[in-house]
Structure formats: structure tokens, C-alpha cells
Structure 1
């Protein structure tokens, strides 16, 4: 018995260079337009038996715009960034480059006073592992790209620092199949080459 969990990265709420740690701003104009363009491909995921989202404004808005009517899951919140919350990476680096270096190099560190990368990945993995496994059941969850990255690292049992090597773009999707502790990455089928 397994379950299929499709993770949808929420649409953007700001330009990449303006992204802030634990940013809870709503979707920006570009984010809304991107949801409209992606809807045709993403709306069918809403047929899943269970539909969830991160509690952030942009994840809730993305899920609602796609017609999922998702249930907010506190466990799918972004990483707790402590006193870095609301700052950009550039701002934090300018203030305390040593703390940023430590954070990027040591997954157990939390120089910001919040949640370590390892704790974040473990929390997201705990959410995955508690999804009800039925006979081919389907779940869709809209969450921040960072949450999708953490889920991938957990599911693939990759070293925590792999997190920094995974790019998840807004409105991209990843599907994991399996059950508690036994997850597999399912890539979409591609067109056959003649």
C-alpha cells in the first residue's frame, strides 16, 4: 500500500533578489499571472483525495487559485529563521557573514536562533511519513519551494547539505510515491523519441 504525494511549489510573492526569510507576503502580479499560465497543467492535481497547503499567504493563494480548496498544514510551514525573519540573504550576509557561512556549512547550526536545516528537513519528512497510505491514494500539497526542497532531500535520504544543490522554481511539481520511510521520486513520463 502506497500513497502518491504531489508537491506544488507556490507561486512567487516577490522577485528572487527581494525574497525574504519566512516571507508571508501574498502573491505579486507576476505570481498571479504565472498561476493563470500554469493552471491547465496543475488543476488536474486537485482531483487528489487530500489537498493541503503551507499556512503562508502565497501557498494558500496558489492552492485556492488552482481550485484545490487546500487545508493548511502547520507542519508544512517554511523553516523558522529566528531573528533573520523578514530579511534578505544579502542583508544578513552584510550584517554577519560568519553566521551565514556557518548556516550554509553545518546543517545542525541555527545561528539565527530558529530552526536548523536538519530540524527543518526532519519536520517536513515527519509530515510525509504520517500521510495515510492507501491503495494508490493521491495527495497534493502546495508549499514554499524550500519545503519542496526539504521533502526531496528527506525522501531521497540524501545528506542534508544536498538541500543547497536543489533548485525548486515557483509552480514546479514533484511527485513522491511510497509510504513512511520508503519514498521514491517519480519523474513525469516524457514523449517517446522516434
Structure 2
């Protein structure tokens, strides 16, 4: 009898290290989390895996003290995600319903994983703009967040994002003197 074994996917050390930094941040050690994420950002480089760059920048933004720095990191996360989604090598266009994966060296990540970041990225950028009193930019990002959240499957993540979008919208409206 021949036994077939499924090979386990190789551990993604970068995502593990990002996760460790996130745990440090959530545990209250913001500076150490920022230091580790910064070192990892340097290691990955500007041409590293798009999913890694997006994830890292997304969480690096949360460790920033200055709202302008937070915005810069959130924009880097969005750039990494958008760059992968829109810039495919010639002849590699996905067919409808196809689950694309990140090309290049290193681990493969489903395109859907990057797309799932979009509502959160736009929401975070909207919050950054709101913190910087850039209301028009904040509202534009909220519109993008609403559109992209509709592409997600129903569930807690989608509903949580919808609720967060509405809370930020209310906060922006109140700050601008509009009452719903």
C-alpha cells in the first residue's frame, strides 16, 4: 500500500515575526514593536513580497506616535497592496474567479488575502486624515472603504469594518458640525 502524504506548507517566518511584533505592541511595548517592524522592513526591502510589505506597513502604522508618520505607513501598506493587484506581468492576467497568488520569490499568498486588507487600509487612512483635520481626504477614503468592504464575504470581519466605517463617519460629521 502506497501512502500519500501532504506536505505541510513551509512556515512563513516573516509573518511569524510580524505577529510577534504585533503581540509586543498589543502587550504595551510599542517602541520594541516599532523597532522590530522597522528592522524587518529593512530586511524585506522595497521589492519584497507584497503581502509581507502590506501587512508589515499596516501594523507599523499602529506603532507610530505622530499622525503624519502613521499616515505615511498606512499609505505604504496601500501602495504595496495596490501595486500587486494592478501591476501583473504581461500574460498573467487572472481569469474571473481565479485565486491569484503573489508572484516572485518567497511564500505565495492568495490575492484575496491582499484584497481583504483594502477596507481596513482605507478606513485607517481615513482616520489618519481625520486626525490631521483633512476632512475631504478622510471622506474620500471612507467612500473607498465602503466600496471595498462590499467585496468581502458576509461575516464578523465585514460587519466589524462596516461598523467602524460608520463610527468614523459620525465622528467626522460631528467634528465638522454636522449632526446626523
The TM-score normalised by the length of structure 1 is: 0.27
Which one scores higher on RCO, CA 8 angstroms, separation ≥ 6?
Answer: 1
Larger-Rg structure: 2
Normalized per residue, which structure has more helix? 2
